[in-house]
Chains A and B, each alone.
Chain A
């Protein structure tokens, strides 16, 4: 930053090469594309839900996160610690929303692209060893999801330190690392009402039963094997 300031002040380089405005440029995020069509997960999750969930909810997290980052940048340059601290909750909420949903879209796949196929290989072995069977793991995730009060997520996570799998919930848009810095998310189930309401209404257990038909265990396996081989 100091070098940029020297170069800008001496006008050696045009502002096209460096951001010579009053603020440094903030690296903002954009909404990732869905790896499949909105209707591709039907009948497990409706196209209407997928479209709203991606274009409205996830987009709002991205937009509001970017807005908060600009405000944070401004607060930092003014050395306004109070403003910086005040922005933490909106950054956690919207940043977390972006992180969580980016994982979620990869956790799902159409049936003809492996959605619903059970895990194989080392992840499958780890599941059997630590939970007994895939069915027991799914049961555990679903009962935690059903019992979650309010909004949040249920995760299958890997503790990178102990190389152990665990099921954990987070509230609102808290990412899994808020439950442990060594935790890596393999698979997340969004249990916010917006994830299922238009299709399943109040019957959350039916959503939890059906989402496994489009679960992309390939992604979870890739993440696991990268860490555990």
Chain B
């Protein structure tokens, strides 16, 4: 009897239907690690259901299409299509946005950054307090679903606060994202109900990972220098 093992393995590797799937990455901490500021229950639903659905639905949408096998960032830019959104844009961008969001937070986070990041914040916003006010205002006044961001605009060598609707993110706007807060209602409704401003205060005081923001800034400046 001929060995079928080798045959099936090589058939597997040449089978173009083998899924090169986008994966659901877990947050870099256990689901209860952000308590009491962001509940385990919220993480279970937000990561376990919403984020997971974006991943699963994206994979279903891209299989067998030219998007299959591309990186997530490439899929996002392609499907943004200069604002004329392709159906997969929402899922693709939301997968990325949520990865970025979990990594923007840490247990025992919040407070004030230091080093170069703090200097640049003071330079571009006047003070940390003014940055915080602008960031929270942007997040509070994003009508409907969306995100608020601290970004680095390479062309002007400047930090900016922006807000985006639904799934739109800085990658398609040509900024380097540094920090985000999710203001879709599912992000805060279980813990804060309608009280979005309270959620934002807790986020700033207790959750922001300034280490992540700093290292993203360093990467952004390196990437920009490499381009110049």
Residues on A lying within 8 angstroms of B by beta carbon are: 52, 56-57, 60, 89, 93, 149-152, 171-173, 192-194, 197-198, 201-202
Within 8 Å of chain A (Cβ to Cβ): is B29? no
- B193-A172 in contact (CB<8A): no
Within 8 Å of chain A (Cβ to Cβ): is B128? no
Enumerate chain B residues within 8 angstroms of A202, measured Cβ to Cβ.
Answer: 45, 49-50, 53, 186
Give the distance in Å from the alpha carbon of A151 to the alpha carbon of B185 in the complex: 9
Output the nearest chain B residue to A55 by Cβ-Cβ distance.
B194
Give the distance in Å from the alpha carbon of A3 to the alpha carbon of B138 in the complex: 44
Output the nearest chain B residue to A202 by Cβ-Cβ distance.
B49
- B90-A149 in contact (CB<8A): yes
Give the distance in Å from the alpha carbon of A192 to the alpha carbon of B184 in the complex: 9
- B190-A150 in contact (CB<8A): no
A89, A171, A173: most-surrounded residue (chain B CB, <10 A): A171
A89 CB to closest chain B CB (Å) equals: 7
Give the distance in Å from the alpha carbon of A172 to the alpha carbon of B90 in the complex: 16
Enumerate chain A residues within 8 angstroms of B143, measured Cβ to Cβ.
Answer: 89, 93, 172-173
Output the nearest chain A residue to B41 by Cβ-Cβ distance.
A201
20 A-B pairs in the complex with CB atoms less than 8 angstroms apart:
A52-B194, A89-B143, A93-B143, A149-B90, A150-B144, A150-B145, A150-B146, A150-B166, A150-B184, A151-B144, A151-B185, A152-B144, A171-B144, A172-B144, A173-B144, A192-B144, A193-B145, A197-B186, A201-B49, A202-B45
B41 CB to closest chain A CB (Å) equals: 9
A46 CB to closest chain B CB (Å) equals: 13
Near A by CB (< 8 A), chain B positions 126-165 give 143-146, 165
Give the distance in Å from the alpha carbon of A227 to the alpha carbon of B166 in the complex: 36
Near A by CB (< 8 A), chain B positions 53-68 give 53
